[in-house]
Amino acid sequence: MMQAQLNCLCLLMLYLTTGYSQERKFSGPLEPMTFSIFEGQEASQVIFQFKAKPPAVNFKLTGETDGIFQIQSDGLLYHNKALDRETRAVHRLQVSTLDAQGATVEGPVPITIEVKDINDNRPMFLQQKYEGSVRQNSRPGKPFMYVNATDPDDPATPNGQLLYEIVIQLPMINNIMYFQINNKTGGISLTVDGSRELDPSKNPSYSLVVSVKDMGGQNENSFSDSTSVDIIVKENIWKAPEPVEIVENSTDPHPIKITQVQWNEPGARYSLTDKEKGPKFPFSIDQDGSIYVTQPLDREEKDSYVFYTTATDEGGRWLSVPLEIRVKVKDINDNPPTCPSAVTVFEVQENENIGSNIGTFIAHDEDEENTVNSVLEYRIVDQIPKFPKEGLFLVQTYSGVFQLAAQSLKKQDTPQYNLTVEVADKDFKTLCDVQIHVIDINDQIPIFEKSDYGILTLAEDTAVGSTILTIQATDADEPFTGSSKILYRITQGDSDGRLGVDTDPQTNAGYVIIKKPLDFEATAIHDIVFQAENPEPLVYGVNYNTSSSATFKLIVTDVNEAPVFSQRIYQAKVSEGVAVGTKVGNVTARDPENLDISYSLRDDRRGWLKIDPVTGQISTRAPVDREAESMYVVHVVATEIGGSYLSSIASFHLTLSDVNDNPPRLAKDDAGLFLCHPLQTTGSVIFEATDDDQQSFLGPQFTFSLDSEFLQNNWEVSKINGTHAKLSTKHTHFEERVYNVPIRIKDGGRPPLERVVSLPVTFCKCVDGSCFLPAGHHSGMPTVGMAVGILLTTFLVIGIILAVVFIRIKKNGGKDNVESAQASEAQPLKN
């Protein structure tokens, strides 16, 4: 009884430890097998019971038993001690069966025992304390050190899967973590905040406590260990160097090292990027971070350079932000002064006071401004002519200001002086040419050749632009200068500006012209006063007097003129529905001779308007229609009464606004609407409506309905939009013929108008989508017999005509032959 209970218990333990399914037997013949058993199980655990085949009576166990595995004579395999996966993960055993004499019957057969891991070992750090260092501003996320722990448990199971975590950071500033750890690899790196905020001058070191847990840190029963990490913060050496100065046009061998950059750790790869993207980039960098200038630089071509250097890892990723490198090209005195132009011209008035400024001479030097290389000195080295004496001019040494030095000048003595000016910097000298022109001063006034130009009589219709008089004054100043040029203006007698005076630039003659029409009725006599002046002001003490003025009398004679309208185009706007006799506008005209005026209309094509001949009031004399003409244009004629009966014409534009006076209608002939007969299902046709009234910006808004309730059994109308509707059948029982369906269409006017239209819809047989009606169904169409008769009659008539023509041709042909023969006989021979 106890043996049976023991066997049941062993079988249960076998199930629990091996994990076999219930379908698997816990006893069986001797054959190769593999068993999985958790380590740490209690001793005397049954694994399997092998059955021997006769004549076998006993079993033998060999292999890696380690004194743990045993087999009984009845084939019961068990272990007498707890297994330890860390000691041996797999036991390879051999089982054999023996007969009564101890001879092998079967085997040895391989039996494999796999020891399954349990979490019976805690992780341990390889060091109790780690030390490391990091540069400030290092790239976040890039590990600068590692911590490592080991766990003897199976790494393929959660028991051996380790999770790292930073549990303490000292100091902790503003509760911000500056460090982070890869929870799988133990790599410690900076956070984004740490990369930005670490500063060895504030906190040169930090201490971390790092923990490690097995079971992936996901189990509350997992084992753990901890270690301390001391980190030294080092100064960031990835810094932009100081600006570099390079002397231009260096003759030293190139390339020349000018500065150097260095990443915080070895192995970085360096490159340069031109910020300004210029056509030439004369710099390079090697993989030690040394930066070189590759060729001589010219400050006058480019005085500074700005570019960037970057450090990248082996994958081409930036290790930090690029550094800005600034290079200034230092000037040397390699450019001589240059003259501002081939010849510099100054002007000085005669009688100018000694010491007066004549002008400023500014030379140029390509070397750097505000340095000793570009400081220029000026000196006059020659004066031509030296009359009336030498040294008439001087120049300020550093400012280049020219002054009159000795005495006042006279244009009559010498009109021009040529000076040679030396311009020098500390190494170079340049000679420049300066011309000084002596200009005349305006000390003479214009004088008219005569003071009175008499009387001139002109008709008031003399053409605008006509030259009516020539006047002349002279000036003794230098010809063709502002001092001698004469401008004429009218100072009296022409307040309306009807006259003007143009000056001949060569002779200073003044041509008096008509700028605006003369008007006898406004001013019959003009007493004109001319004034002659120079555009340049007179010198102090000289003034214009009566010699610079002249008089002239203009008498304007009367000419009969046509009436003048107050405007050329009159405009008015009325509704097209106004009553006959409604006033729509008014025109006015004035006769220059104050004669009475009579008004009349011209081009009143539709006879819509009339005008009061005395007042010029225009009113309707017939209904107006916007749909016939939206803008009606007529001409108004104003004729003087008496005199020469002269007349003038103006336009009258009448704009007609719309009223709703046109009912809707079908937009087009819809005789082509059809449905294929017989209907298989209900069908529909689409039609469009319109009317002739002016539409709003929204367009027409029509409503559609059947004209009779009786039709609603067969048809229905549905609106598609403001202009289109759909007529649909309500059943399929229609005859093959034309149905005229009355549709009521109403517009959206105020008041609305409506109209009933007949919409023809044809039911017919269809071929390829086209409608065909039998010929007999159309009124006026001939029958087949009639068509044949007509065709035969047509052929008969054509035959008769052809016979007559043929006979006549035969007759004429014989006659022509006879005449031709006679003519041949009578005609003399020719050589």
What's the pLDDT score for residue 791?
67
Helix extents (H) in 103-229: 192-197
Contact 563, 590 (CB under 8 A): yes
Q: Which DSSP letter does residue 481 get?
A: S
685 phi, psi to nearest 5 deg: -130, 155
Contact 452, 418 (CB under 8 A): no
SS (H, E, C) 526-574: EEEEEEEECCCCCCCCCCCCHHHEEEEEEEEECCCCCCEECCCEEEEEE
What's the pLDDT score for residue 818?
35
Return d(Cα 447, Cα 473) in angstroms, integer.
Answer: 5
Cβ atoms < 10 Å from Cβ of 387: 11
- The first and second tokens of residue 599, run together, are 């008004």
Cβ atoms < 10 Å from Cβ of 614: 10
Q: pLDDT band for 753, please (50, 70, 90 cuts).
A: confident
**Segment 423-468, tens digit of pLDDT:** 999 999 999 999 999 888 888 899 999 999 999 999 888 999 999 9
- In CATH, 244-330 is 2.60.40.60: yes
Return d(Cα 763, Cα 685) in angstroms, integer.
Answer: 11
**Mean pLDDT across the stretch 722-730?**
91
Q: pLDDT band for 540, please (50, 70, 90 cuts).
A: confident
Return d(Cα 376, Cα 399) in angstroms, integer.
Answer: 9
Identity of residue 266? P
Q: Would you say residue 809 has pLDDT above 60?
A: no
- SS3 at position 685: strand
Return d(Cα 143, Cα 265) in angstroms, integer.
Answer: 12
Q: Would you say residue 295 has pLDDT above 90?
A: yes
Q: Would you say residue 615 has pLDDT above 80?
A: yes
Which residues neighbour 492 within 8 Å (Cβ) at sequence distance 6 or greater? 527, 528, 529
Closest CA to 318 of 282, 269, 354, 355: 269
Contact 245, 293 (CB under 8 A): no
Q: pLDDT band for 15, please (50, 70, 90 cuts).
A: very low
Identity of residue 296? P
Fold of 343-439: Immunoglobulin-like (2.60.40)
- SS3 at position 803: helix
Q: pLDDT band for 807, please (50, 70, 90 cuts).
A: low
What's the pLDDT score for residue 781?
46
Which residues neighbour 800 within 8 Å (Cβ) at sequence distance 6 or greater? none
Return d(Cα 270, Cα 409) in angstroms, integer.
Answer: 72
Beta strand 145-146 with 69-71: parallel, antiparallel or unpaired? Answer: unpaired
- SS3 at position 486: coil
- The first and second tokens of residue 97, run together, are 């069966």
Helix extents (H) in 241-346: none
**Segment 147-196, tens digit of pLDDT:** 999 999 888 888 989 999 999 999 999 999 999 999 999 999 999 999 99
- The first and second tokens of residue 696, run together, are 């709003």
- CA 115-120-124 angle, to 5 degrees, is 120
Identity of residue 363? A
- What are the domain boundaries of the chain? 33-116, 124-234, 244-330, 343-439, 446-557, 564-657, 665-771
Query: Dihedral angle at the C-alpha atoms of 687, 692, 698, 704, nearest 10 degrees?
Result: -40
Q: Do 343-439 and 244-330 have the same topology in CATH?
A: yes
What's the pLDDT score for residue 670?
67
How many angstroms separate the Cα of 515 from the Cα of each of 466, 467, 494? 8, 10, 11
- The first and second tokens of residue 303, run together, are 């005085």
**Segment 471-524, tens digit of pLDDT:** 999 998 888 888 889 999 999 999 999 999 999 999 999 999 999 999 888 899
Q: pLDDT band for 823, please (50, 70, 90 cuts).
A: very low
**Mean pLDDT across the stretch 587-600?**
90
Q: pLDDT band for 338, please (50, 70, 90 cuts).
A: very high
- Helices (runs of H) and strands (runs of E) counted in the chain: 3, 57
What's the pLDDT score for residue 62?
95
- Is 281 buried (19+), middle (13-18) or exposed (0-12) by CB count in 10 A? middle
How many angstroms separate the Cα of 444 from the Cα of each of 22, 479, 536, 578, 782? 139, 12, 11, 76, 113
Cβ atoms < 10 Å from Cβ of 225: 18
The class of domain 665-771 in CATH terms is: mainly beta
Closest CA to 47 of 35, 64, 32, 30: 35
Return the residue matching tokens 């549709």: 743
Give me the chain's average pLDDT, please: 87
Q: pLDDT band for 828, please (50, 70, 90 cuts).
A: very low
How many angstroms separate the Cα of 269 from the Cα of each of 142, 257, 326? 16, 18, 21
Contact 68, 81 (CB under 8 A): yes
Closest CA to 325 of 339, 311, 309, 314: 309
SS (H, E, C) 243-270: CEEEECCCCCCCCEEEEECCCCCCCCEE
Percent of all residues in the chain with a pLDDT value above 90, rounded to a whole number:
61
- In CATH, 124-234 is 2.60.40.60: yes
Identity of residue 519? D
Contact 746, 665 (CB under 8 A): no
Return d(Cα 26, Cα 97) in angstroms, integer.
Answer: 18
Q: Which DSSP letter does residue 220 get?
A: T
**Segment 38-92, tens digit of pLDDT:** 988 888 889 999 999 999 999 999 999 999 999 999 999 999 999 998 899 999 9
Q: Would you say residue 643 has pLDDT above 80?
A: no
- CA 685-687-692 angle, to 5 degrees, is 175
- SS3 at position 367: coil
Return the residue matching tokens 């037997």: 25
What is 564-657's CATH number, 1.10.10.60, 2.60.40.60, 2.60.40.420, 3.40.50.2300? 2.60.40.60
Q: How many CA atoms lie within 13 A of 233 on its CB side?
A: 21
Return d(Cα 510, Cα 266) in angstroms, integer.
Answer: 93
What's the pLDDT score for residue 4?
38
Give the helix/strand (H/E) hosting 824: helix 784-826
- As a whole number of angstroms, the longest Cα–Cα distance in the chain is 175
Closest CA to 496 of 452, 528, 463, 536: 528
Closest CA to 268 of 138, 355, 168: 138
Return d(Cα 117, Cα 36) in angstroms, integer.
Answer: 10
What is 446-557's CATH number, 3.30.1950.10, 2.60.40.60, 2.60.40.10, 2.30.33.40? 2.60.40.60
Return d(Cα 704, Cα 696) in angstroms, integer.
Answer: 19
Strand order in the sheet with 617-620: 583-586, 617-620, 609-611
Contact 557, 458 (CB under 8 A): yes
**Mean pLDDT across the stretch 610-619?**
95
- Residues paired with 610 in a beta bridge: 619
Contact 326, 244 (CB under 8 A): yes
Domain 33-116: assigned CATH number: 2.60.40.60
278 phi, psi to nearest 5 deg: -75, 170
- The first and second tokens of residue 465, run together, are 């632009």
Q: Please, what sign has the CA dihedral across residues 483, 484, 487, 490?
A: positive
